[in-house]
Amino acid sequence: MRIDQDIKLDYDDVLIRPKRSTLRSRGDVTLAREFRFPHSNKTWQGVPIIVANMDAIATVSMAKIMTQNKMMVAMSKYLSPEDFTKVDSNYNFFTIGIRDEDYEKLSAAANHAEINYICIDAANAYTERFVEVVKQVRDNYPEAVIMAGNVVTGEMTEELILAGADIVKIGVGPGSACLTRRVAGVGYPQLSAVIECADAAHGLKGLICADGGLKSSGDFAKAFGAGADFVMSGSMFAGHDESEMKIIERNSKKYLPYYGSSSDKAIKKHYGEDGKKNYRASEGRELLLEYKGPVQHTITELLGGIRSACTYVGAEKLKELSKRTTFIRVNRQLNTIHQGKEE
Residue 208 within binding range of ligand 5GP, rule CB under 6 A:
no
**300 catalytic residue (yes or no):** no
Give the nearer residue to ligand 5GP in terms of CB position, either 17 or 182. 182
User: Rg for the chain (alpha carbons), in Å?
Assistant: 19
Residue 218 within binding range of ligand 5GP, rule CB under 6 A:
no
**326 catalytic residue (yes or no):** no
Q: Convert residues 39-68 into a mask of x (bound to ligand 5GP by CB under 6 A) and - (unbound).
A: -------------x-x--------------
Q: How far is the CB of 319 from ligand 5GP (least distance, A)?
A: 24
Give the nearer residue to ligand 5GP in terms of CB position, either 150 or 322. 150
With CB under 6 A as the rule, give the number of residues binding ligand 5GP: 24
Give the nearer residue to ligand 5GP in terms of CB position, either 223 or 313. 223
First to last CA, the chain: 50
* Active-site residue, selected from the candidate residues 180, 197, 209, 325: 180
- The interface region with ligand 5GP, picked from 78-86, 94-102, 208-216, 328-336 by CB under 6 A, is 208-216
Query: Which residue of this chain has its Cβ atom nearest to ligand 5GP in the complex?
Result: 284
Q: Convert residues 148-187 into a mask of x (bound to ligand 5GP by CB under 6 A) and - (unbound).
A: --x--------------------x---xxxx-x-------
Beta bridge partners of 216: none
Task: Report the residue from 62, 157, 283, 322 that binds ligand 5GP according to the rule CB under 6 A.
Answer: 283
Residue 211 within binding range of ligand 5GP, rule CB under 6 A:
yes
Beta bridge partners of 74: 93
Q: How far is the CB of 187 from ligand 5GP (least distance, A)?
A: 9
Give the nearer residue to ligand 5GP in terms of CB position, either 262 or 311. 262
Give the nearer residue to ligand 5GP in terms of CB position, either 29 or 156. 156
Per residue, the 3-state secondary structure of the chain, as one string, reads CCCCCCCCCCHHHEEECCCCCCCCCHHHCECCEEEECCCCCCEEEECCEEECCCCCCCCHHHHHHHHHCCCEEECCCCCCHHHHCCCCCCCEEEEECCCHHHHHHHHHHHHHCCCCEEEEECCCCCCHHHHHHHHHHHHHCCCCEEEEEEECCHHHHHHHHHHCCCEEEECCCCCCCECHHHHHCCCCCHHHHHHHHHHHHHHCCCEEEEECCCCCHHHHHHHHHCCCCEEEECHHHCCCHHHCCCCEEECCEEEEEEECCCCHHHHHHHHCCCCCCCCCCCCECEEEEECCCCHHHHHHHHHHHHHHHHHHHCCCEHHHCCCCCCEEECCHHHHCCCCCCCC
Residue 92 within binding range of ligand 5GP, rule CB under 6 A:
no
Residue 235 within binding range of ligand 5GP, rule CB under 6 A:
yes
Q: Which of residues 244-263 bind ligand 5GP (CB under 6 A)?
A: 260-263
Catalytic positions are: 178, 180
Q: Which residues bind ligand 5GP (CB under 6 A)?
A: 52, 54, 123, 150, 171, 175-178, 180, 211-214, 232-235, 260-263, 283-284
